Structure 1
Amino acid sequence: MESVKRGIVLLLLVLTGIGSAWADRGYGHRYGHGYGHRSAQFGFVITPGWGPWYYPPPFYYPPTQPIVIERAPPVYIEQVLPAPGPPETQTNYWYYCGATRAYYPYVNECPGGWQKVLPRPPGQP
């Protein structure tokens, strides 16, 4: 019976120290150094062990209103094309060299200059 009482007292002492052991988490800059200042600490804390009865509800920001930008509908402007002009007649000229008495491309160079000549269909004078 005496050992049961000692066990209960020892268990209660251990349980009272658990809260302070969990509260102590760090020893300064111990990350990556491999050493730290460690010491054993004992304390006596009387707490219910389960925290406060009431937790306030979490704060939520109010939902944001969507931003709607109404754009004007696209405006189409019909442009009137200018009236087509009279059809241009494309006249191909023959080039005559008076010094050699021949036409281009039979003669590549003309010392006296080229003369524009209206083309004539074959068989017409």
Structure 2
Amino acid sequence: MKSPKLLLALAVLGLAATGSAWADRGHVHFGVSIGAWAPGPWYGPPRVYYPPAYYPPVYPYPYYPPVVVTPPSPPVYVEQAPTAAVPQSNVWYFCPEAKAYYPYVKECASGWQQVAPQPPAGQ
């Protein structure tokens, strides 16, 4: 029975001593402590690694075809062959029925007569 009374007396004495230590302070202080934790040595069975239950899909990189740049082909010029000059005919066509020359008359029922060309009378 003596032991609990002694412990209680020591606790009251300790609290009274700490009260006088904080007597000059009129406010409460809070502090932050920073610590580090590291696991101790492991003396049990070896730890077992379990892979995750689901692996997210791995998408391949997209395929980009190589860029091919070709210079434009030079323009192609097709040179036309010179047209052969149509030889002038040394013949006029006369229609005796219409008394006129071709191309002033397009058709002649009696047939065309070939006539040697002649310059106009006034020249």
TM-score between the two structures when normalised by the length of structure 1: 0.32
